[in-house]
Amino acid sequence: MRERFYNLFKNFITILLFFTVIFSINLLINYEICVAKNVNRLNVGGNGEFNYSSIQEAVFDSVNGDTIFVYPGVYYENIVINKSISLLGLDKNNVSINGEDGIYSILVKSYGILISGFTIRNSNVGILISGKDFEFCNISDNIFTNNSEAIRLINTSNNNIFRNLITNHSNFGIVLYNSKENVFFKNTIVDNKRGIYLGRWSNNNLIFENNFTNYNYGLNLDYSFNNQIIDNLIQNGDYGIYLSNSKNNNITNNYIFYNEQSGIYISNSDENNLSSNIFLNNNQDINKKTNPPNIKTPGFEILLLILIIIIITLIKKEK
């Protein structure tokens, strides 16, 4: 009797576990379906449901996790993105955001935003990310042209900027201030006054496999430390890499060609690692500016001694 009861109990537990697993699987599937239904696709410039005439309207109606697809056309807008969404142009050569000479074409005001597939032009700053809470953004496969600056990062970290064409900017291609641990990878940066500028306290950034061509300053570091600059092609400008008041940067395996002033120019910047770079046809491969010697102003004691000597000399002459 006891054995029979035990077997019945064992079968009951087995059946219970079986249905628990089935219930859990169905619950998981239904949850995934619900999540998928809550992730919207919004269209701009296309046809059908959830289609908008402007990008900003679609952003207003989106929620975190949504994707906005933008069809070919020219969009004269200054866009604020304040949600964690993906903004995707369907053809970067034919989907254009024209900033109409505004402060920015796109202002990022959230974290985890993806922007890809656009031509961004005619503004002061193409994409502006400003604020320590606006991190983990990806900007990829875009064309930036005819802005004052393509991309500006201020007080932000952990963003990825890769495979963009950045061309014909009157000031900076990419500019950072107090921005750390960002990655710049496989960008083509051509015909800009400055390719990438790392301003004060822009530390621990990774810059690798980018192509800098035709510039006054290809890569300019000012009061920036511990950056990794690796495997870049830097050619046909005035100064390839310009270091000012910057230390502990690792500059290795770069190809630095045809610079009319210096391949690498160093001003008040010691303790950087410069190794395994290849130089070709620069006016100077490495030019280190020597700091002027410290000339101390004479102290009061020395001035007093000089005055006493002069007085003694005058007294002797009178005698």
> pLDDT value at position 289?
85
237/12 Cα distance (integer angstroms): 80
> pLDDT value at position 148?
98
- Going residue by residue through the chain (319 aa), what tens digit of pLDDT does each one get? 554 444 444 444 443 443 343 333 333 333 333 333 456 999 999 887 779 999 999 999 999 999 999 999 999 999 999 999 999 999 999 999 999 999 999 999 999 999 999 999 999 999 999 999 999 999 999 999 999 999 999 999 999 999 999 999 999 999 999 999 999 999 999 999 999 999 999 999 999 999 999 999 999 999 999 999 999 999 999 999 999 999 999 999 999 999 999 999 999 999 999 999 999 999 999 999 865 444 344 454 555 556 666 666 666 666 5
Q: In angstroms, how far apart are the furthest CA atoms of the chain?
A: 140
Q: Cβ(200)–Cβ(222) under 8 Å?
A: yes
Q: pTM of the predicted model, to two decimals?
A: 0.80
> Per CATH, the architecture of 45-289 is what?
3 Solenoid (2.160)
- Angle at CA 163, nearest 5°, toward 159 and 169? 85
319/314 Cα distance (integer angstroms): 9
127/133 Cα distance (integer angstroms): 16
Q: Where are the domains of the chain?
A: 1-38, 45-289
Which tokens hold the place of 61?
Answer: 């109606």
262/254 Cα distance (integer angstroms): 14
**Among candidate residues 172, 167, 240, the one with its CA nearest the CA of residue 202:** 172
99/78 Cα distance (integer angstroms): 6
With 0-12 CB in 10 A as exposed, 13-18 as middle and 19+ as buried, what is 21? exposed
> pLDDT value at position 50?
78
Q: Cβ(266)–Cβ(272) under 8 Å?
A: yes
Provide CB contacts within 8 A for 233, sequence distance 6+.
210, 211, 212, 213, 254, 255, 257
Q: What is the 3-state secondary structure (H, E, C) of the chain?
A: CHHHHHHHHHHHHHHHHHHHHHHHHHHHHHHHHHHHHHCCEEEECCCCCCEECCHHHHHHHCCCCCEEEECCEEEECCEEECCCCEEEECCCCCEEEECCCCCEEEEECCCCCEEECCEEECCCEEEEEECCCCCCCEEECCEEECCCEEEEEECCECCEEECCEEEEEEEEEEEEECCECCEEECCEEEEEEEEEEECCCCCCCEEECCEEEEEEEEEEEECCCCCEEECCEEEEEEEEEEEECCCCCEEECCEEEEEEEEEEEEECCCCCEEECCEEECCCCCEEEECCCCCCCCCCHHHHHHHHHHHHHHHHHHHC
